[in-house]
Structure 1
Amino acid sequence: MSPTEEPELLWQLFQRGDWEAYTKLYNININLLINYGHKFTRDRSLIEDAVHDLFIKLWTNRASLGTPLSVKNYLYKALRSILFRKLDHRSRFTQLVAGDALAFEVSFDEVVIASEEEQALQAKIKFAVGTLPPRQQEIVFLRFYEGFSYPEIADIMEITVSSAYKLLYKALHSIESAFAASNPGRGPGQPAAG
């Protein structure tokens, strides 16, 4: 990415009405935002509507927007808020039902899995994460798939940093317990027999 395409610089240019910077921000983030939206609902048209609503709102209010510390964090938080409003509008009882629960994918797109052991491990991780409650799945996704820091996660999920640590700890403990259950001969924290 060239220096003129750094998100913070693009943001500042977009705030001044630079249409090219705005479209670059959109193009850089569209797939990331749609992927994040799939963690809440499988309704692709709803997600795309929410992303488009977000970018329309950004353009409309560009002059009054501040400069966020992290553009990506700001966009994730804003999309999450818009999606929740849209889901709430659909139903007064906004619950993430099993079909709309976070469909966490352990992504190894850039790494070729060479051995069957690694493929088996990937399947176990995916299964273990899939058994977590939705908020724990979300925090695992944000921390390990998207690489957000704890303060950024807290901001996106609208919880305290301390709560983010605790929620991730619970998720990791549950994953570790799931691994221990799938290997009855060993307890949590013990290496697998090889």
Structure 2
Amino acid sequence: HGARGGQQRRPAARDGEDRTLALEITLEEAFAGGSRQVEISGASGRRTLNVRIPAGIEAGRKIRLAGQGEAGAHGGADGDIYLEIAYAPHPRYRAEGRDLTLELPVAPWEAALGARVEVPTLAGPVTLAIPAGAQSGQKLRLRGRGLPGEPAGDQYVRLKIVNPPADSEAARTLFRRLQDELPFDPRAGL
């Protein structure tokens, strides 16, 4: 027999499922923020949503799109979509949290004598002072030049000493003079 008094039991309300999706953004987008159109497919078909990317968002952080997940049943709330941020590989920078690292090629004389060189950052080029006697692999810090935030990240510049090619007689002569006149053994510490 049916329910007493002719009452039908209402099915329990069920909230919709949350979903987590990956969203790959460029470091430039992470730096400046902005908006991105994201196509999402689910039980209710395909939709295109406008997503606001906050400036300085770190990889691994999630952006919540409330009520955009699976539909709730019997009056239950719709689920949410979480977009988990990942950084696309960048040709110049490596990101760690809000800090960025750039490998900067320098000439042997710039490293030996010190120099002021222009260095790219996501906010535009800046001048960096390379100290005299700098070594390959040495890291210099540009404070606050990483991704924005509280506090802003730093940009580290890793020096990479690059030799000019000895592809002419004049260049080979200069290298021979260095070899003869500088009493230098790079492996003295081994």
Greater fraction of residues in helix: 1
Greater fraction of residues in strand: 2
TM-score, normalised with respect to structure 1: 0.19
TM-score, normalised with respect to structure 2: 0.19
